[in-house]
Structure 1
Amino acid sequence: MSRHIATFVQISQLALRQGLFFSLALLLTLVAGQLHHTWQVAHDARAVPTRSVLVVKVPVPTASVLMQTRPMATTTVTIEAPVPRERWVF
């Protein structure tokens, strides 16, 4: 048998071009997505993380403070947490 297997498959030239174009578009989309992801990770790593600060001030207990019916405690809380960025997971 001198025929090749590829000659049995009837693929039009238009379908072959469309398939190659689709493959090229998919490849470029995946490469661009990978580059964007790499850039985003590098950008997030360079950002300085905002730390939460929790300060609690309580007066030193003395005999007069312990004798009071309601002990006074001053609490100051400052929390600056970054808003989580929306991420797409496929």
Structure 2
Amino acid sequence: MSLTELDHRPEKSGRIELDPEGAEKGLAQLVLTVIELLRELVERQALRRVDGGNLTEEEIEKLGVALMNLDVKMDELKDVFDLVDEDLNIDLGPLGNLL
């Protein structure tokens, strides 16, 4: 590399430059991924309890409504941050996808 080429390189400040909108979306993506993972775990546990006969009809109804409300809220938040379901599925390399 010549001295002339060195003079035309942008200066590096040693700091990572982040686009604030991109950082916000990335954080939202991470948080919503964790929430979706927890939602799926709660849903599976709820199904086990329903199948095991451990819940009353009223408890089943409340649980169903709560899960539906959470699903609606998740859809709203994905819309706000311009995310789709596939954006919440993190690739864990050799372990496969998270969701």
Q: Same fold (TM over 0.5)?
A: no
TM-score (structure 2 length as normaliser): 0.37
TM-score (structure 1 length as normaliser): 0.40
Kindly name which structure, 1 or 2, has the bigger radius of gyration based on alpha carbons. Answer: 1
